[in-house]
Amino acid sequence: MVPPSARRIIVKMAASSKRALVGAMAANLGIAATKLIVGLITRSTAMIAEAIHSVVDTGNAGLMLLGESRSRRPADRHHPFGHGMEIYFWSVVVAMVVFAGGGGLSAYEGIRALFHPRHITAVWPSYVVIAAAFVFETASLVIGMRELTTFRRERNLSGSTIAVIHASKNPAIFMTVLEDVAALIGLVLAAAGVTLSYYLGWHACEGIASIAIGLVLVAEAAILAYETRSLIVGEAAHERVTCAIDEIARRHPELGPLLAVTTLQLGPDAILLVLRVRFPDAMRVAQLEELGEAFESDLRRAQPSIRHVVFDISPEPSTWRGAP
pLDDT tens for each residue of 124-145: 888 888 888 888 888 878 887 8
Do 274 and 240 contact (CB within 8 A), yes or no? no
Number of H helices, E strands in the chain: 10, 3
- Cβ atoms of 293 and 3 within 8 Å: the answer is yes
pTM for this prediction: 0.75
Mean pLDDT of the chain: 80
pLDDT recorded at residue 180: 86
Mean pLDDT of 62-83: 86
Instruction: Check residue 208 and give its pLDDT.
Output: 92
- The reported pLDDT for the residue numbered 246 is 86
pLDDT band at 1 (very low <50, low <70, confident <90, very high): very low
Answer with the residue of higher pLDDT: 235 or 161: 235
Indicate left, alpha or beta for 234 from its phi (over 0: left) and psi (-120 to 50: alpha). left
Whether the pLDDT of residue 248 is over 80: the answer is yes
Which tops the pLDDT comparison, 283 or 32? 32
In this prediction, what percent of the chain has a pLDDT beyond 70? 89
SS3 295: helix
Euclidean distance between CA atoms 57 and 183, whole angstroms: 9
Q: What is the pLDDT of residue 316?
A: 53
Identify each DSSP E strand in the chain by its residue range. 258-267, 270-277, 306-312
CB atoms closer than 10 angstroms to residue 135: 11
> pLDDT tens digits for 201-240?
887 888 899 899 999 989 989 988 888 888 888 888 888 8
Look at residue 184 in the predicted model and tell me its pLDDT: 92
Domains within the chain, CATH numbers bracketed = 15-234 (1.20.1510.10), 239-312 (3.30.70.1350)
Residue 3 has pLDDT above 80, yes or no: no
Map residue 321 onto helix, strand or coil.
coil
Name the least confident of 13-27, 50-64, 288-302.
13-27
Residue 240: the pLDDT is 82
- Residues 38-52 as b/e (b if ≥16 CB within 10 A, e otherwise) read bbeebebbbbbbbbb
User: Could you tell me which residues are beta bridge partners of residue 153?
Assistant: none
> What pLDDT digit, counting tens, does each position of 75-124 carry?
888 888 888 888 899 989 999 888 888 888 888 888 988 888 777 777 88
Contact predicate 230/264, CB 8 Å: no
